[in-house]
Amino acid sequence: MIPWELKMKEFVNCNCAYGCPCQFNAPPTHGDCKAIASFEVSEGHFGDVDLAGVKAIGVLSWPGAIHEGNGSIEAIVDAAATDAQKDAILKIMTGQETEPMATMFSVFISTMTTVHDPVFAPIDLEINVENRTALVSVPGLIEVSGEPIRNPITGDIHQARIDIPHGFEYLIAEMGAGTGKASSAIKMELTNSYGQFAHLHLTNSGPVRKAA
């Protein structure tokens, strides 16, 4: 197995209500699951390939709950990445060189019936986990924005987190709101729905655990 390790910022916008029942092993809000997951690597490698600065997006769709399968996925990788970086990040995103079910990439790919060819295009990506803001753009394909949840009466920013000590993705995620559109092979529109901001630290064997 080729050793790899990633530290990255993540923003996920899905069609569930704030909090996303999937995070609690409950059925999705509307019965199906659609998501645009964006991330940028701050530090990382795949074998000898340096992955720092690589940006990528996963467009995902399931007709029911994720664990019921029959999903579809399309990966979009920043065109600025080198060929070696593109190959490496796609291997990670499709669960290769990873212990079975150790990361969200490995778990999700096991539920996919359709894996579309990857797209290589310029990705403009800004994620601020602490402020719970994000802007994601792939001209003609992806437009997503993220913002904090606000009190419906006062308009004040409302902060909430999800802590999953033994999960396969993050340890702590900041909750927010997202609005997004995908016009790629998998099409979707999301409006003021679940937004997830997190710092991830992943390896072949899953998230790196730290004391809370």
Q: Is residue 201 part of a domain?
A: yes
Is 165 strand, coil or helix?
Answer: coil
Q: What pLDDT score was predicted for residue 212?
A: 42
Q: Is residue 212 part of a domain?
A: no
Cα–Cα distance for residue pair 87/192, rounded to 1 Å? 34
Segment 179-197, tens digit of pLDDT: 999 998 999 999 999 999 9
- What whole-number percentage of the chain has pLDDT above 70? 99
Query: Mean pLDDT throughout 71-77?
Result: 98
Cα–Cα distance for residue pair 74/58, rounded to 1 Å? 6
Q: Which amino acid is at 193?
A: S
Mark 154-191 as b/e (b = at least 16 C-beta within 10 Å). eeeebeeebeeeebbbbbebbbbbbbbbbebbbebebe
Q: Which residue has the tokens 């390896």?
A: 203
- What range defines the domain where residue 115 resides? 4-206
Q: List Cβ neighbours of 69 (8 Å cut-off, separation of 6 or more).
A: 62, 111, 112, 113
Segment 9-58, tens digit of pLDDT: 999 999 999 999 999 999 999 999 999 999 999 999 999 999 999 999 99
Number of domains, the chain: 1
Nearest to 16 by CA among 150, 192, 148, 147: 192
Cα–Cα distance for residue pair 105/101, rounded to 1 Å? 8
Q: What pLDDT score was predicted for residue 82?
A: 98
Cβ atoms of 173 and 11 within 8 Å: the answer is no
Query: Mean pLDDT throughout 89-107?
Result: 97
Q: What pLDDT score was predicted for residue 20?
A: 93
Q: Is residue 154 part of a domain?
A: yes
Nearest to 55 by CA among 11, 15, 96, 110: 11
Q: Is residue 48 part of a domain?
A: yes
Q: Is residue 32 part of a domain?
A: yes
Q: What pLDDT score was predicted for residue 64?
A: 97
Q: Is residue 211 part of a domain?
A: no
Structure tokens at 211: 């004391």
pLDDT mean across residues, the chain: 96
Q: Is the predicted pLDDT of residue 114 greater than 90, yes or no?
A: yes
Q: What pLDDT score was predicted for residue 210?
A: 72
Query: Mean pLDDT throughout 138-164?
Result: 96
Structure tokens at 138: 């792939």
Segment 202-211, tens digit of pLDDT: 999 999 987 5
Cα–Cα distance for residue pair 133/126, rounded to 1 Å? 8
Q: What pLDDT score was predicted for residue 209?
A: 87
